[in-house]
A and B are shown apart, each in its own frame.
Chain A
Amino acid sequence: GAVVSQHPSRVICKSGTSVKIECRSLDFQATTMFWYRQFPKKSLMLMATSNEGSKATYEQGVEKDKFLINHASLTLSTLTVTSAHPEDSSFYICSALGLAEPSNEQFFGPGTRLTVL
């Protein structure tokens, strides 16, 4: 089946530093990837839609200068949290949209736990 990986699985950083999270589709190509944020006991919140070769589309209220998204190839999207602060601590999950039918199925990565001290 379609597999999506994320790296790292968990990261701890100091306030003010930047952290990059990678999302890879391992056995399929994905022109579209999504980034979600999950708070404890809360649902997943869509942050942005990442399209290969073009700028990401951010959801309302998500700071594009803080959460930089790059989708440079059909198998890799990266999320960089710039100048991280403790309130950015969260569980970040990516998903990739399969090219094959059913075309609206998203395949999810295992998530990255970010802790900002």
Chain B
Amino acid sequence: GDSVTQMEGPVTLSEEAFLTINCTYTATGYPSLFWYVQYPGEGLQLLLKATKADDKGSNKGFEATYRKETTSFHLEKGSVQVSDSAVYFCALSDQSGYALNFGKGTSLLVTP
């Protein structure tokens, strides 16, 4: 079945450092790919998404490109801030667009 694998955390970075969180997927067909963020005490929020190969999703300085050839959707940000500290989830949805399959989440801590 469909699955998502993302790098284990926690990831600790200094403010203004470059961030990469790796995400790879296994799926039949052509899934949509998502990154969700969960700030402490809050619900998951959609950070960005891509619905087809070579699409780049971007939001709040974060970017991820849908790479079909490597089945990847790595999350990147050029300069992280303390306020980016959160748990990040990579997810895919099947072709119905409904069911979400999540990775295990990567905790990010950004220190001043």
| A80 and B100 alpha carbons, distance in the complex (Å) | 22
Number of A-B contacts (CB under 8 A): 46
| A109 and B101 alpha carbons, distance in the complex (Å) | 17
Residue of A nearest to B105 (CB): A43
| A4 and B105 alpha carbons, distance in the complex (Å) | 21
Distance in Å: Cβ of A38 to nearest Cβ of chain B? 9
For this complex, into which size category does the number of interface residues on chain A fall? 20 to 34
Q: Which of B44, B97, B105 contacts A108 (CB 8 A)?
A: B44
B89 to A44, Cβ gap below 8 A?
yes
B32 to A104, Cβ gap below 8 A?
yes
Contact digits for B88-112, partner A, Cβ 8 Å, 1 yes 0 no: 0100010001111111110000000
A49 to B98, Cβ gap below 8 A?
yes
Distance in Å: Cβ of A46 to nearest Cβ of chain B? 6
A104 to B97, Cβ gap below 8 A?
yes
Please list the residues of chain A having a beta carbon within 8 angstroms of any beta carbon in chain B: 4, 6, 32, 34, 41-44, 46, 49, 93, 95, 97, 103-106, 108-111
Please list the residues of chain B having a beta carbon within 8 angstroms of any beta carbon in chain A: 4, 32, 36, 41-46, 89, 93, 97-105
